[in-house]
Each structure stands twice: as structure tokens, then as C-alpha cells.
Chains A and B, each alone.
Chain A
């Protein structure tokens, strides 16, 4: 079975401060990990995937197989980063989502 855990339901960060959204996973095979973002009144959209090793909107995430983690980080938070963030695991030809973290950036 595959499982994704996002321990923080809510996270508030001051503008300009660093952001870290935690994600841990459980999967017996070789996982593919993703971060999705949902801005207010918008649909879910892909933010980044671990195999791309890219930075999107200043966000990065590194897959740590030893700790089974895929935490999302940004060094300096911006107000437009306020949104719902979901970590997802690709395995057995489907995506399994975590429960999400609502990130609020305080001006």
C-alpha cells in the first residue's frame, strides 16, 4: 500500500521568511513524488515533480529516500504563495494524495 503524510494542516509564515512544508511517504517500490498547489477558487495544478529536479516559483523539493520524505521549501515566502499544497505519490499507475497543508503568508 502507498501512503502520503502531511503532518501540518495549517502553516502560517511571515512574508520573507523561509517556508518548509513537510511530506513523508510509504511505498515499497521506487516512488515518484509530486507537489500540487491549489490557489483560492482555482483547480489543482502541478507545482513540481522530483524527477524534474527543477525550481518552480522559487520552490524546491528533494527526495530523501532514507527518510522517505519530500519536503517542499522556499527561502523567502511571498504573499502569492498562500494556497493549499498537496504532496502526492505516484505508484501502481495512480496518484495518492496527502491531506494537504494550507499555507498562509502573513504580510
Chain B
């Protein structure tokens, strides 16, 4: 149980275009989902926390107009990178939280490459 999927696993897009990444909790309902970014050989950096039906809470330094997060249901959250630039190329990981405090199940990640 407690499986989280992400789609797509890899995406290449051109500079200036937008790309959407989906995160789904497959066998449980997640009231809270988290989006992380991981640079090569670096740690996971929390970008934002999203709660179902409400606006996401962004970490300091993360542009909310660039990284749009939607959490429309208890099993789906999406991250849209708008007007992507090469510096947005990274590994994006989502996680879904449960009712147990700080318990999170992680998706496999999405590798975004902006050319």
C-alpha cells in the first residue's frame, strides 16, 4: 500500500513553454502533498506544500507564479512549470502525506530538461 505515482517520468521541453507534472496517491487519500526539487548530488529542497482544495504554501525563494500547484482532489496534485527556462531543468519529486504527522510517501520523480 501507500503508493505514489508521478507522470511523466521524463520530459523535455523547449524554453518558454510550460510543462505539467502529475502526482497521484494510488491507494490512499492524501490531504497534503509536497513538491520537492533535487539538483544533481544535492538534497531535496521543499518547494511547496499543497492541501486539497486550498492554495499551496510556497517556501521562501520559490516563485509561485512560475511553479503553479493545483491540488484539486485527495489523490491528485499537479505542478506546472510555466515559461520554462534551462535553469528550471531538475529532478522534481512529489510526496503525499498521511494522517500520521510527518509521514510522507514519495513518488519516483520527474526529470525535466529544458532546452
With an 8 Å Cβ cutoff, the count of chain B residues facing the other chain is 19
With CB as the reference atom, state the residue of chain B lying closest to A93.
Answer: B49
Contacting pair B93 A44 (CB below 8 A)? yes
With CB as the reference atom, state the residue of chain B lying closest to A44.
Answer: B106
Could you say which of A9, A46, A49, A97 contacts B44, with CB atoms under 8 Å apart?
A97
| In the complex, chain A residues whose CB is within 8 Å of the CB of B103 | 46
Could you say which of B44, B102, B104, B107 contacts A32, with CB atoms under 8 Å apart?
B102
Bound Cα distance A93, B95 (Å) = 14
Interface size class for chain A? 10 to 19
CB-CB contacts below 8 Å: B64-111 with A: 93, 95, 101-104, 106-109
Bound Cα distance A49, B41 (Å) = 24
Contact surface of A with B, Cβ cutoff 8 Å: 9, 32, 34, 42-46, 49, 86, 90, 93-100
Contacting pair A43 B43 (CB below 8 A)? no
With CB as the reference atom, state the residue of chain A lying closest to B5.
Answer: A43
| In the complex, chain A residues whose CB is within 8 Å of the CB of B41 | 9
Contacting pair B102 A90 (CB below 8 A)? yes
Contacting pair A98 B43 (CB below 8 A)? yes
Bound Cα distance A44, B41 (Å) = 14
Contacting pair B43 A95 (CB below 8 A)? no
> Mind listing 23 A-B residue pairs with CB under 8 Å?
A9-B41, A32-B102, A42-B108, A43-B108, A43-B109, A44-B44, A44-B93, A44-B95, A44-B106, A45-B106, A46-B104, A49-B102, A86-B44, A90-B101, A90-B102, A93-B49, A94-B49, A95-B34, A95-B102, A97-B44, A97-B45, A99-B42, A100-B43
Q: Is B19 an interface residue (CB 8 A)?
A: no
With CB as the reference atom, state the residue of chain B lying closest to A32.
Answer: B102
Contacting pair A97 B49 (CB below 8 A)? no
| In the complex, chain B residues whose CB is within 8 Å of the CB of A42 | 108
